[in-house]
């Protein structure tokens, strides 16, 4: 029972490490040394569901495929319960399709690991390069096709339209613009009262934009907000 | 003169040019690329280039770097055994790739050309856009057309850059994929192992010794999980 | 043992590591850099590194590349005399203009005369001095005066050389744009700095559906999944 206790963090890592329902099933099968061709469906289904519940409890993003697999397992389980005509050799084992998928996935899962082990550039091998010592570097002029020009213009227009579209909503109350305005206000007065930077007439949106602008400026360390004691007036000045 | 061609002088100009070019180029150079370094009226033959490459290969034997063919091109690269020292030159750690990415790449490499649907079918989960984009951006994978089925899904295969990155001469150098088991064979084996009577009893909740031998100490699997579920809930609740 | 140090075996590991490192590094490496490739408890002396460099230098004598000292660092570079051949490596791949460059040129061509401010306004981002300079140097664009507004910004248009390069008799032969909207409308928008009101009324409530197509409808998955989720819940709930 050495692996009886897994710290919750580690548990989450384990749960997150599954690459989907097939991977989880292979893990359960491998863990118990079961032959993949001899899956005890009832037991595996139970364990599978326990893991799925754990993932839910851990609030992991549970891919829909896990639930689909749960349904598949449930279906296989019930089909296994149905009596089959004795001696009917042609009747397919209900597990056949699933086993087939597990075997197929396992092949690629294993080979992906081997791919990872191949020597690769930047980890095991490094490209050997030297400088090109050229006393008279040839200035090659880029070639441009006429079509490229048209395509480029088309692209610009499309983007301009899109940008302008954004502009409409942004222009009215631009945080950036407001930041500039606040900086201008602070240029003329060394200290300004915090409240003076807001204009009530602008309504709630205006207040919010001003507030965000002040926060932005603070973050950029362009302004400093000071308050000498609790509930005292708040003052704002430029950081310089 | 003809029979003399393949044997190059130790420091022939041709060999030196090939050497310098391989080192200066940004990508592996093919024999065709190497030929095109020379003016048309003085172009060496494929055999001459081949001989120069061969000569270079042997000259770099036992050095810190080696001449290697990747895909159809040639490049010089450090020997694998010196990687532990060279890793210290570049600050950042070499990138590690997620299993999702490697499995996706493996399926494309061995099964090409494939659609995203093919990959999802094998892996049993969706392939995220990020993974495909990442593979495309790295230049390891490219779109080569569309499958002629409803929806016309894009077909992907691997590129020359993929071979170069993984130090492969061709796809045939990929690690071997385990033999596929034929569906018919799998079905037959399943039926063999599952006598009909067992099928019925197994599922009726009777303790199934062969499944969980009582002697086996790591049987209390489910209890363990339930306990863990508690822990996990405490932690997150 | 001490006096033996400076003399290295022909293919000593130290020399090979130094060699591989110099080839793998992007910058010249100093002796200090080279030392730091080794773990602290196995660091070679400055003399040993120096000897390795010296040995390498002589081994690359008469080859296509040479070991050079630049400042305090060492690097390999191609031999100058092979430059004429190496230049052809890149010949097949002529450099390409950046997107920003092509877009700037396109705006000048289609909307001339324009100021840099006009271009920035249309592109929505700043236009670097380098881009304007390259276009001027290429002879495709020229300054033709100044706009009579505050600041007197320079006005640019395309040149006769531009027409000649693209094999055009006049600007009217520029390829027409595949418009989704009235060309006059687009032209008006791009030429004029539209007052905010105009822009607003024009744009309000105009969904750009053609630009952002709705998600692909052939996703038969979700319905199926929901259904299956039900089954699963019945079974276990």
pLDDT digits (tens, 9 = 90+) for C185-232: 545 555 444 333 333 333 333 333 333 333 333 333 333 333 333 333
**C88 pLDDT above the threshold of 70:** yes
pLDDT digits (tens, 9 = 90+) for A138-159: 667 778 888 888 888 888 888 7
Phi, then psi, of C155 in degrees rounded to 5: -105, 135
CB atoms within 10 A of CB C50: 14
Which chain B residues have a beta carbon less than 8 Å from that of C92?
33, 36
In chain A, the residue whose alpha carbon lies closest to the alpha carbon of B76 is A128
pLDDT digits (tens, 9 = 90+) for B96-121: 999 999 999 999 999 999 999 999 99
Place of tokens 């003076």: A196
Q: Which are the contacts of A150, defined by CB distance < 8 A and separation ≥ 6?
A: C106, C174, C175, C176, C177
Bridging pattern class, strands C73-78 and C29-30: antiparallel
CB contact under 8 A, B23 and C62: no
Query: CB pairs under 8 A, 24+ apart, for C180-189?
Result: C180/C210, C186/A157, C189/A160, C189/A161, C189/A164
Phi, then psi, of A223 in degrees rounded to 5: -130, 165
Separation CA B20–CA A134 (nearest Å): 12
Q: From A73, A64, A65, select the one nearest A29 (Cα to Cα).
A: A73
Q: Which are the contacts of B79, defined by CB distance < 8 A and separation ≥ 6?
A: A125, B63, B64, B65, B66, C16, C20
CB atoms within 10 A of CB C58: 10
Q: Within 13 A of C37's CA, how many CA atoms are on the CB side?
A: 29
Q: From A132, A66, A109, A127, select the one nearest B177 (Cα to Cα).
A: A109
- Asked whether B67 and B60 are in contact (CB, 8 A), the reply is yes
Q: What is the mean pLDDT of chain A?
A: 81
- Asked whether C52 and B96 are in contact (CB, 8 A), the reply is no
Q: CA distances (Å), B109 to each of B113, B114, B170, C81, in order?
A: 8, 9, 11, 42
Place of tokens 């965000």: A212
CB contact under 8 A, A67 and C228: yes
CB contact under 8 A, A152 and C106: yes
In chain C, the residue whose alpha carbon lies closest to the alpha carbon of A121 is C24
CB contact under 8 A, A134 and C86: yes
**Would you put residue C54 in left (φ > 0), alpha (ψ -120 to 50) or beta?**
alpha
Question: B62: which DSSP letter?
Answer: T
Of C138, C178, C232, the CB nearest to A141: C138
Which chain A residues have a beta carbon less than 8 Å from that of C235?
70-71, 74
The answer to whether residue C17 neighbours chain A at the CB level (below 8 Å) is: no
Of C19, C37, C82, the CB nearest to B17: C82
Share of chain C above pLDDT 70, in %: 68
What per-residue confidence (pLDDT) applies to A90? Answer: 61
CB contact under 8 A, B166 and A80: no
**A21 pLDDT above the threshold of 90:** yes
Of A130, A134, A160, the CB nearest to C76: A130
Q: From B169, B138, C37, select the one nearest A118 (Cα to Cα).
A: B169
Q: From C132, C143, C140, select the one nearest C101 (Cα to Cα).
A: C132
- Asked whether A134 and B95 are in contact (CB, 8 A), the reply is no
| C148-187 residues touching A, CB cutoff 8 A | 165-168, 174-178, 186
What per-residue confidence (pLDDT) applies to B17? Answer: 96
Distance (Å) from the alpha carbon of B17 to chain C's nearest alpha carbon: 6
Separation CA B136–CA B119 (nearest Å): 15
Q: From C135, C176, C101, select the one nearest A154 (Cα to Cα).
A: C176
Which chain B residues have a beta carbon less than 8 Å from that of A112?
99, 102-103, 105-106
Interface test with B, best of C42, C52, C63 (most B CBs within 10 A): C63
CB atoms within 10 A of CB B235: 14
Interface test with A, best of C67, C121, C228, C234 (most A CBs within 10 A): C228
What per-residue confidence (pLDDT) applies to C186? Answer: 47
What residues form DSSP beta bridges with B42? none
Separation CA A113–CA A42 (nearest Å): 30
CB contact under 8 A, C168 and A158: no
- A100-109, B34-43, B83-92, B137-146: segment of lowest average pLDDT: B83-92
Distance (Å) from the alpha carbon of B32 to chain C's nearest alpha carbon: 11
**C36 pLDDT above the threshold of 50:** yes
**B227 pLDDT above the threshold of 60:** no
CB contact under 8 A, B202 and A107: no
Of A63, A89, A108, the CB nearest to B122: A108
Separation CA B37–CA B58 (nearest Å): 23
Enumerate helices (H) and strands (E) in chain B, giving the number of each: 11, 4
Angle at C213 between CA C209 and CA C215, to 5 degrees: 135
Token pair in block for residue A43: 């037991």
What per-residue confidence (pLDDT) applies to C23? Answer: 95
Q: What is the mean pLDDT of chain C?
A: 75
CB atoms within 10 A of CB A107: 19
Distance (Å) from the alpha carbon of C9 to chain A's nearest alpha carbon: 23
Token pair in block for residue A198: 């807001």
CB contact under 8 A, C177 and A157: yes
What per-residue confidence (pLDDT) applies to A190? Answer: 73
CB contact under 8 A, B187 and A96: yes
- Asked whether C82 and B17 are in contact (CB, 8 A), the reply is yes
Q: Does residue C90 or residue C73 have the better pLDDT?
A: C73
What residues form DSSP beta bridges with B114? B156
Token pair in block for residue B8: 């190059």
- For chain A, the C-alpha Rg in angstroms (whole number) is 33
Of C29, C88, C218, the CB nearest to B36: C88
CB atoms within 10 A of CB B102: 21
Distance (Å) from the alpha carbon of B187 to chain C's nearest alpha carbon: 25
Cα distance between the two ends of chain A = 64
Of C107, C203, C222, the CB nearest to A153: C107
In chain C, the residue whose alpha carbon lies closest to the alpha carbon of A153 is C106
Separation CA B14–CA B37 (nearest Å): 10
CB contact under 8 A, A152 and C99: yes
* Average pLDDT over every residue of C117-124: 86
What residues form DSSP beta bridges with B67? B76
Element containing residue A237 per DSSP (H, E): strand A234-238
CB contact under 8 A, B77 and A58: no
Distance (Å) from the alpha carbon of B119 to chain C's nearest alpha carbon: 16
pLDDT digits (tens, 9 = 90+) for A160-209: 777 666 554 444 567 777 888 888 888 766 778 888 888 777 767 777 88
- Asked whether B20 and C82 are in contact (CB, 8 A), the reply is yes
Exposed/middle/buried for residue A14 (C-beta within 10 Å: 0-12, 13-18, 19+): middle
Q: Which are the contacts of B169, defined by CB distance < 8 A and separation ≥ 6?
A: B69, B70, B71, B163
* Average pLDDT over every residue of C162-185: 76
What per-residue confidence (pLDDT) applies to C136? Answer: 92
Separation CA B54–CA B59 (nearest Å): 9
- All chains having 3 or more CB pairs closer than 8 angstroms to chain C: A, B
- A144-148, C155-159, C176-180: segment of lowest average pLDDT: C176-180
Separation CA B149–CA B144 (nearest Å): 15
Nearest 10 degrees: Cα torsion B23, B28, B32, B37: -30
Helix (H, G, I), strand (E, B) or coil at A221: coil
In chain A, the residue whose alpha carbon lies closest to the alpha carbon of B68 is A127
pLDDT digits (tens, 9 = 90+) for B151-206: 899 999 999 999 999 999 999 999 999 888 888 888 888 777 665 544 444 444 44
CB contact under 8 A, B232 and A11: yes
| C99-158 residues touching A, CB cutoff 8 A | 99, 102-103, 105-107, 109-110, 122-124, 138
pLDDT digits (tens, 9 = 90+) for B63-101: 999 999 999 999 999 999 999 999 888 766 788 999 999
The answer to whether residue C116 neighbours chain B at the CB level (below 8 Å) is: no
In chain B, the residue whose alpha carbon lies closest to the alpha carbon of C81 is B17
Q: CA distances (Å), B231 to each of A18, A47, A61, A62, in order?
A: 20, 17, 19, 19
**A66 pLDDT above the threshold of 50:** yes
Separation CA C155–CA C119 (nearest Å): 11
- Asked whether A200 and A191 are in contact (CB, 8 A), the reply is no
CB contact under 8 A, C89 and B29: yes
Helix (H, G, I), strand (E, B) or coil at B36: coil
- Asked whether A163 and A171 are in contact (CB, 8 A), the reply is no
Dihedral sign from CA coordinates of A161, A166, A168, A172: negative
- Asked whether B228 and A6 are in contact (CB, 8 A), the reply is yes
Element containing residue A144 per DSSP (H, E): none
Entry field: residues in chain C: 237
What per-residue confidence (pLDDT) applies to C54? Answer: 95
CB contact under 8 A, B183 and A96: yes
CB contact under 8 A, C25 and B89: yes
CB contact under 8 A, B151 and C218: yes
CB contact under 8 A, B64 and C218: no
pLDDT digits (tens, 9 = 90+) for C123-155: 878 888 888 998 999 999 999 999 988 888 999
């Amino acid at each position: 029972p050495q692996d009886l206790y897994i710290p919750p963090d580690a548990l989450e890592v384990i749960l997150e490490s599954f690459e989907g329902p097939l991977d989880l099933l292979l893990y359960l099968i491998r863990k118990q040394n079961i032959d993949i061709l001899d899956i005890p469906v009832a037991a595996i289904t139970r364990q599978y569901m326990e893991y799925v519940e754990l993932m839910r409890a851990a609030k992991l993003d549970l891919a829909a495929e896990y639930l689909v697999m749960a349904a598949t397992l449930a279906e296989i389980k019930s089909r296994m319960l149905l009596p089959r005509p004795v001696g009917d050799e042609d009747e397919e084992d209900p597990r056949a399709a699933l086993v087939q998928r597990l075997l197929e996935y396992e092949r690629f899962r294993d080979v992906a690991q081997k791919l990872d082990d191949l020597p690769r550039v930047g980890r095991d091998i490094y490209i050997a390069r030297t400088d090109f010592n050229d006393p008279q570097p040839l200035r090659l002029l880029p070639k441009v096709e006429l079509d490229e020009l048209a395509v480029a213009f088309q692209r610009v227009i499309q983007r301009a339209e899109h940008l302008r579209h954004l502009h409409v909503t942004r222009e009215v109350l631009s945080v950036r613009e407001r930041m500039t305005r606040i900086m201008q206000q602070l240029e003329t007065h060394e200290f300004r009262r915090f409240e003076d930077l807001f204009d009530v007439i602008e309504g709630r949106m205006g207040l919010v934009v001003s507030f965000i602008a002040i926060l932005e400026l603070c973050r950029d360390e362009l302004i400093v907000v000071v308050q000498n004691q609790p509930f005292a007036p708040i003052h704002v000045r430029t950081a310089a | 003169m003809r029979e003399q061609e393949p044997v190059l002088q130790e420091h022939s100009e041709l060999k030196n040019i090939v050497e310098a070019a391989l080192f200066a180029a940004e990508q592996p150079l093919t024999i065709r690329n190497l030929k095109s370094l020379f003016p048309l009226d003085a172009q060496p033959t494929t055999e001459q280039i081949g001989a120069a490459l061969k000569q270079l290969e042997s000259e770099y034997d036992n050095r810190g770097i080696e001449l290697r063919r990747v895909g159809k091109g040639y490049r010089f690269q450090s020997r694998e055994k010196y990687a532990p020292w060279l890793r210290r030159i570049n600050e950042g750690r070499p990138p590690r790739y997620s299993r999702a990415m490697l499995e996706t790449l493996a399926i494309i490499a061995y099964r090409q050309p494939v659609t995203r649907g093919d990959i999802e079918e094998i892996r049993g989960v969706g392939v995220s856009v990020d993974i495909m984009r990442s593979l495309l951006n790295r230049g390891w994978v490219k779109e080569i057309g569309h499958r002629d089925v409803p929806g016309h899904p894009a077909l992907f295969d691997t590129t020359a850059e993929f071979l170069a990155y993984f130090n492969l001469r061709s796809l045939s150098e990929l690690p071997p994929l385990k033999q596929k088991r034929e569906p018919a064979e799998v079905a037959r084996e399943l039926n063999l192992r599952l006598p009909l009577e067992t099928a019925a009893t197994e599922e009726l909740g009777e303790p199934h010794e062969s499944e969980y031998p009582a002697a086996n100490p790591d049987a209390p699997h489910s209890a363990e999980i339930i306990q863990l579920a508690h822990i996990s809930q405490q932690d997150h609740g």
